[in-house]
Structure 1
Amino acid sequence: MPVDSELTRELRLLTDVHEQVLREAGLQWVAEQVAGLHNTAPLPPVTDPQDAMRLAGALTVHLHLVNLADERHRVRLLNAPATTPHADAGDDLWPAVSGAQGVQERLDSLRIHPVLTAHPTEARRRAIATSLRRVSEQLQRLENPRLGPEEQDASHRRLLEEIELLHLTSVLRTTQPEPLDEVRTIMTVFDQTLIRAVPRLYRATEHALIGEASGTVPTPVPAFVRFGSWVGGDRDGNPFVTAEVTRRTLALQAEHALSALQVSVERVGRTLTADQVDTPPSRALQEALARDAVAMPERFAEIRTGSPGEPHRQRMLVIAYRLQATRAGRAEHSYPGPDALIADLRIVQDSLAQAGARRAAYGELQHVIWYAETFGFHLAELEVRQHSDVHKAALEDLLAQIPDAPADASQDAAFLDRLAADGWPEHVSPREERTREVLDTLRVMSWLQERWGERAWGRYIVCFSHSAANLVAVRALARFAVGAAPLRLDVV
């Protein structure tokens, strides 16, 4: 069926089901108004406030469903087979360009870094978004040509049920959205879309470069995507984003990143049932398993009992257990950072490849490695955004306690640079609450980098900068906040 015809069919289906839901609710007149939306005539006036609310609610649901159909239509267009004259050129691309000087070097240096920005006024409730996702799942099921009559009836019934629930769900928030609400909304974007899409992007790039060898040889494609986020870190214009909110934001991000990693490692690990006779473990893998037996004897004994003679599976399940320990904060078995995890995954991958199981080595296991390289343990690099006037006020609070400070010291880049390099006088302390909040934010940055690695946080954006002093101010405040403790800052 042509893509445009599928859109028309889906719009008709959603409209019919919505009208049926309205009629079953005793809102025949509302159903008629929704059915007549394609007419250019204006809606008749509604004088009763309750009727007006019912009509507004029905129209809102209708527009949600139309937007959903449009989103699915765009996905179908993107997934439609290419019809250009060069659609099949991908298989020959790598042989054609691999000899060109610097191609691999350029690929190795490629970096795509999307940043998710904060939108604290986002009106759509997560309940509405979740309901629409369930509607989409039923539409996806109904597209399956292999569904039998009973399954089609069941999916159609579920579609009616989901649209009825959507109709009954309030579109209005009863409380003001908080920064952490927005963080949780962003987490659904990662969980449902980005985490799945990124390995597919790498694999598609690999296939374009090496064709049918994709998934059977070491990949020429590095993990070139990194994500940033202002959500939970953008303070400019939002006084509700505090140091505590930022700390909890990265804790949420880390939980989602580690949870997805643990699930992926365990899923792939349970498929690696290759016997050690036909797929002998490498020396590095044998040594890793020997260390595991000493470091976690009880847990390792359970894993070995459940996976006898399957060393690669054993090692992957140990890795999953260590990720679980990292999530729970159990220092004894947790990973110090993503680099240690990636090194463990590489040992398994190299062992499989040496034993001749190349598809197992460079297939789904490579997806897990790409995931770890892209998202780390922090999911997205959190970025702080603050107005320069806030820093100026904090500096003035502190600098007022230094008798020999130059006039207008908060704008003296050289003086601030000396404070950043040499430290502050010991008698200086914050007197204003807003100063303490600025310093607490920098302390949280230092702690989070120590906990989750430097990639977790580093960029500090100063809004309305007028001079170099506005940038040096952050370094001076950071020196006051954390002293000589390590804190990587990329102030822009």
Structure 2
Amino acid sequence: MASPLTLRVPRSGPGQTSRHVRTNVRLLDDVLSEAIRYLDGEDAATLVEGARKAASEGGDAPHLDFLFSAVKPDEAMLLARAFACHSMLANIGEDVAGRRREAESEGLQGAARTVAGALEALDLKADALDALNVVPVLTAHPTEVRRRALVDREAEISRLMALRRHSLPPDLDARIRESLFREVALLWRTRLHRPEKITVADEIRNALSIVRTSMLPALVELYETWSERITDGGDVPSMLRLGSWLGGDRDGHPGVTGETMRLALKSQSRVILDFYAGEVRKLWSDLAISDAYEGATDALKALATAAHDPSPHRFDEPYRLALEYVFDRLSATAQRLAGQPVSYALGPSGEPPYDAPDAFVADLETVRNSLIQHGGARLIGARLNTLLQVARACGFHMLALDMRQNADVHERLVAELIQQSGQEVDYLSLSEDEKVALLLGEMAHQRPLRSPFAQYSEETTRELDTLEAAAEAVKLYGPKVFGAYVVSKTATLSDMLEPLVLLAQVGLMRGGAEPTATVRVSPLLETIEDLEHGPDILGQWLDLPLAKAILGEKPIQEVMVGYSDSNKDGGYVASRRGVARAATALARTCDARGVGLQIFHGRGGSVGRGGGPAAEAVLAQPPHTVQGRLRMTEQGEMIARRYGDQPTARRNLESLVAAVLTSTRQEPDPEPSDASKAAMDALAAGSFGAYRKLVYETPGFTDFFWAATPISEIVQLNIGSRPASRTASRRIEDLRAIPWVFSWSQARFMLPGWFGFAGGVERAGLSVQQLSDLSVAYDFFAALLSNMELALAQSDMGIAARYAKLAADVEGGQAIMDAIRAEHDRAVELALAIRGGTRLLDDRPDLQESVELAAKAVDPLNHLQLELLSRRRRGDEDEELRLAIQLTVAGVAAGLRNTG
């Protein structure tokens, strides 16, 4: 589909960009060397310089391997730290060069107008925005290996490097250079690894740090821009909101409880109420309007009269008095919700707290209406308008929290509640039809299953306590505090009904003749099979009178689709095709019943887990599946990468909204022919078979995976609070998708991002010409090929083959490696033949350069990691060796910038 909206920032020629990148990386390398020499002495600097020189002469040079084979554990730690820091600094150098490129091409200015530009290009009025609902959802999935201290240090180095983009006087340039040395030296002295496992509280704190410093300011700036450019200072719909799983994602995580939910919401509330109070205080400074010169409405005077301001200097300033009252009520609200007054308060407030965000919004509207009636709209200013917009979008919770739990857990809870209620029913042994009938019967009346006198299992008690916390949250923050109740592993209709029965136990769902639910249930379709059956399950749900009543007069049903588990289940092509087919079928199922569809995309950072440019992914969605509504997970390292600073956060947020608008309102291209659909289905089926044959049907493959990748070391990393595996087994089926992808990335296979494509082409009997035709007919297939080519470019079969040698004792290990290499080489041939290229990514020179730069930075880390892993595999249990391996993992992950 040819989009009228250019989402990619205009790029200068690769030669100019390369020059800036090389200059930045060389400077940062010099500063790092200077810091190592200054802090650790000449011997340390000489060791690092020798290794860097060996690496620059060829990452797989024999003398590099010889050097690493002789290093002691403490020297290995020094080298691992040095190369890891080099990787981080190289990324900063590239990013700063990219921002220079964007500034020179006026790309930032263009990006700031993308929503307005989309409206103009599509010949739409502002009311086209009314139906938009775009929500990036932050998750705590453990793919961010960097500590928050490192992220903050990198941000400061990036800021200083950005200052050097301009021609500066020598004395100022020297001062910035010295500040740069200090920051790099502090980075060198900052511990790269976490000595203890990260907690849920840590994850909440880390994510909110980014929200506070970049995402929220970007959101504020966007609403101000949209108001000015789209509605000439008027209101725009709350089309962009923020969501979170932090503190609410219980799936496979016993550490997420009612207490973590309370902590998350309390912390979120603190951030947004502090922001509101700061903005109200600024308005208070602005609106020193005396009633001697300008009148005010009765409603504004009533607010002013309610204030308790003892100052005799403000008796004739009704706007200031009114805003003083609003500020004090906000502070009291913070005391009630967050346990302490807002940061700007001098002490506890004596005013009543707001019961709901709507009351706060109403007071702000009172101020605005008075200004309009007494003085004119031009006195309002952008600050008040923007504050109103943000308050409507964020409420007192800021991030709409999702709850998530596995369908198997719900089934056990319902079974225990029924058994403890005295009913002589073995719920677990019932057929699906019998379960549905029983569950509908329970919701047809108000009788609770839960009894205060019953003794429940630890699991049931914990789950019910969490749901009680959710009910408390609705009372405190309002019904918009929760985004959805996501049901993992949804495979049947009963999987959607069971959480409703559980919600009914705490008052979040009411049955009877007119059933209602405060929290909507969103099924998560994760496996290839679940994606195929999902539309049928959705149809069964929507046909129920219960569903029709709960969804209301303007029904919208959300369905979440998972890219990660479906990829681990069936490979890259089958997963992507399964998601696309499911989306189309889900849209048709909803359309046939007059229900709107909202798809929630569970994407990760890597290609294998649905990663890639978010806006481009939206534009490549099947026709009629976006419908103005989209939620999308933002996970791990991608949160800092996409939202780590305000300009980047703003650019990514707006491009996402613009893409949703464009995908929704642009006339779709003609439907692909039946022959094209059949070819795509044949490719997906063939790819599924090729992938399953390797991963699940090849003898010894599981042992090969555990030996040839650093999975054993990764599961011991303290990068997330969630367990790496659902059980204690080594089965791939039980391993979570994130460590699966993470391990292949570390060993430079990148297997989840491409394996099965070439085998699928062969099994389907497709020619290069047919594949080229498919890429023209299908935006989806063109995007699939584009992302696959990136994964192929990031892989390195030479380095991967060395990791495979770690599995020398695994039966058939060499044959497995040969099969992987053959599939890789054939996939490269096909990708180039379909596109007509001669080198991977040669149609995207900036991206090609970025991949090559990352490879140059991480290659020596891979070779060092290989040496250390081989020692570990031989039984060396030295603690410094273990820490050195963890440092190499952190360095490779930071350099590649997509771990999982």
Q: TM-score interval w.r.t. the shorter chain?
A: 0.7 to 0.9
Rounded to whole Å, the distance in 2 between the matches of 1:170 and 1:308 is 56
For 1:320 and 1:5, how far apart are their aligned partners in 2?
51
1:79-125 Cα distance to aligned partner (Å, 9 max, x none): 555489x9999999799799x7x834322222111111221353211
| Equivalent of residue 58 in structure 2, options 40, 50, 56 | 40
State the Cα deviation string for residues 173-197 of structure 1 (Å, max 9, x = none): 0100111111111101211211111
Q: Match for 1:376 among 395, 402, 405? A: 395
Q: Secondary structure at the match of 1:363?
A: helix
1:387-402 residue pairs with structure 2 within 5 A? Answer: 387-402=406-421
Picking from 29, 33, 47, the partner of 1:15 is 29
- Are the structure 2 counterparts of residues 469 and 19 from structure 1 closer, same or farther at C-alpha, using a change threshold of 3 Å? same
Q: Is structure 2 residue 165 aligned with structure 1 residue 156? A: no
Distance in 1 (CA, whole Å) between partners of 2:330 and 2:105 is: 39
Cα deviation code 1:33-92 (max 9, x no counterpart): 4477554344332422211111110111111112223333444455555489x9999999
CA distance in 2: counterparts of 1:159 and 1:80, whole angstroms? 24
Q: Deviations over 1:414-467 (max 9, x none)?
A: 322332332235757342010011111111111001001111125111111222
Return the letter of the residue paired with 1:344.
D
Q: Which amino acid aligns with 1:181?
A: D
Contact 1:275 1:310 (8 Å CA) reproduced: yes
CA distance in 1, matches of 2:290, 2:118: 35
Return the alpha-carbon distance in structure 2 between the equivalents of residues 112 and 69 of structure 1.
32
Alignment partner for residue 472 of structure 2, among 444, 447, 450?
447
- Aligned-partner Cα distance in 2 for 1:483–1:423: 14
Q: CA deviation at 1:346?
A: 1.4
Residue 91 to residue 443, structure 1, CA distance change in 2 (3 Å): closer
Structure 2 length normalisation: TM-score?
Answer: 0.49
Cα pair distance change 1:396/1:170, threshold 3 Å: same
What is the CA–CA distance in structure 2 between the aligned matches of 1:94 and 1:162, rounded to whole Å? 41
In the superposition, relative to structure 1, how do residues 341 and 425 fare at CA in structure 2: closer, same or farther (>3 Å)? closer
Per-residue CA deviation, residues 297-349 of structure 1 (Å, 9 max, x unaligned), is 3xx224x64x4543323322332222122111279521112111111111222
Q: Does 1:139 align with 2:177?
A: no
Contact 2:500–2:509, Cα closer than 8 Å, also in 1: no
Is 1:185 the counterpart of 2:206? The answer is yes
1:228 aligns with 2:243: yes
Residue 494 of structure 2 aligns to which amino acid in structure 1? Answer: A
State the match for 2:427 in structure 1.
408
Mark the CA change 1:443 to 1:197 in structure 2 (over 3 Å): closer, same or farther.
same
Secondary structure in 2 matching 1:382:
strand
Aligned partners of 2:371, 2:103: CA distance in 1, in Å? 33
* CA–CA separation in structure 1 for the residues paired with 2:361 and 2:53: 56
Q: TM-score, normalised by structure 1?
A: 0.86
Shift of 1:208: 4.2
Choose from 131, 146, 149 the match for 1:127: 149
Shift of residue 356, structure 1, vs aligned partner: 3.2
Partner amino acid for 1:479? A
- What stretches of structure 1 of length at least 5 have no aligned partner? none
Counterpart for residue 520 of structure 2: 490
1:463 to 480, 488, 495: 488
**In 2, Cα distance between equivalents of 1:301 and 1:94:** 51
Structure possessing the higher relative contact order (Cα contacts under 8 Å, 6 or more residues apart): 2
Question: Higher mean Cα deviation, 104-113 or 330-339?
Answer: 330-339
CA distance in 1, matches of 2:422, 2:321: 65
Judged with a 3 Å threshold, the aligned counterparts in structure 2 of structure 1 residues 148 and 273 are, in CA distance, closer, same or farther, namely farther
Alignment correspondent of 1:56: 80
**Match in the other structure for 2:442:** 419
308-317 vs 159-168, greater mean Cα deviation: 308-317
Q: Does 1:67 align with 2:86?
A: no
In 2: Cα distance, 1:448 partner to 1:250 partner: 8
- Preserved CA contact (<8 Å) 1:269 1:316: yes
Query: 1:65-144, aligned counterparts within 5 Å?
Result: 65-82=89-106, 103-120=125-142, 122-143=144-165
Contact kept? 1:180, 1:245, Cα under 8 Å:
yes
Residue 188 (structure 2) pairs with residue 167 (structure 1): yes
Flag the 1:363–1:388 CA change in 2: closer, same or farther, 3 A: same
Question: SS of the counterpart of 1:112?
Answer: strand
Distance 1:119 1:479 in 2: 29
Does 2:333 align with 1:326?
yes
**Which residue of 18, 24, 28 corresponds with 2:38?**
24
Q: What is the distance in 2 between the residues matched to 1:273 and 1:117?
A: 43
Q: CA deviation at 1:240?
A: 1.4
Does the aligned pair in 2 maintain the 1:323–1:335 contact within 8 Å? Answer: yes
SS at match of 1:187: helix
Residue identity in the other structure for 1:490: R
Q: 1:231 is paired with a residue of what secondary structure?
A: coil
Q: Which moved more, 1:249-258 or 1:366-375?
A: 366-375
Deviation at 1:352? 2.4
Change beyond 3 A, Cα 1:278–1:150: farther
Alignment check: 8 A CA contact 2:238 2:389 kept: yes
Contact 1:337 1:453 in 2 (8 A): yes
CA distance in 1, matches of 2:176, 2:376: 41
Distance across 2 between alignment mates of 1:363 and 1:484: 41
2:234 aligned with 1:218: yes
Give the counterpart letter for 1:355 in structure 2.
H
Work out whether residues 90 and 208 of structure 1, in 8 Å CA contact, stay in contact via their aligned partners in 2.
no
Counterpart position of 1:209: 230
Q: Secondary structure at the match of 2:299?
A: helix
Aligned residues with identical type, % of pairs: 26
Change over 3 Å in CA distance of 1:94–1:348 after alignment to 2? farther
Q: Does 1:265 align with 2:280?
A: yes
Cα distance in structure 2, aligned partners of 1:225 and 1:83: 22
Q: Could you tell me how far apart the structure 1 residues matched to 2:132 and 2:119 are?
A: 20
Distance, in Å, in 2 between the alignment partners of 1:289 and 1:491 is: 44
Q: Distance in 2 between matches of 1:80 and 1:373?
A: 36
Is this contact kept in 1: 2:134–2:240, CA < 8 A?
Answer: yes
Q: Distance in 2 between matches of 1:97 and 1:58?
A: 49
Q: Can you give the 5+ residue segments of structure 2 that lack an aligned partner in the other structure? A: 1-11, 337-348, 511-515, 523-900
Task: Give the secondary structure class of the aligned counterpart of 2:420.
Answer: coil
State the SS of the aligned residue for 1:235. Answer: coil
AA aligned to 1:47 is: V
1:426 & 1:23 partners in 2: Cα distance?
A: 67
| Residue 390 (structure 1) shift | 0.8
Please tell me whether the aligned partners of residues 126 and 230 of structure 2 are also in contact (alpha carbons under 8 angstroms): no
Distance 1:97 1:313, change over 3 A: farther
Asked if structure 1 preserves the Cα contact closer than 8 Å seen for 2:474 and 2:481, the reply is yes
Matches within 5 A, 1:214-363: 214=232, 217-219=233-235, 221-290=236-305, 292-293=306-307, 297=308, 300-302=309-311, 305=313, 307=314, 309-329=316-336, 332-356=351-375, 358-363=377-382
**Residues 382 and 456 of structure 1 are in contact (CA less than 8 Å); yes or no, is this contact kept in structure 2?**
yes
Cα separation, 1, equivalents of 2:384 and 2:159: 27
Does the C-alpha gap of structure 1 residues 403 and 87 become closer, same or farther in structure 2, counting only changes over 3 Å?
closer
What's the offset of the Cα at 1:371? 1.8
The answer on whether the counterparts of 2:251 and 2:405 sit within 8 Å (CA) in structure 1 is yes
Tell me the equivalent position of 1:481: 506
Summarize the Cα distance change of 1:124–1:361 in structure 2 as closer, same or farther, 3 Å threshold: same
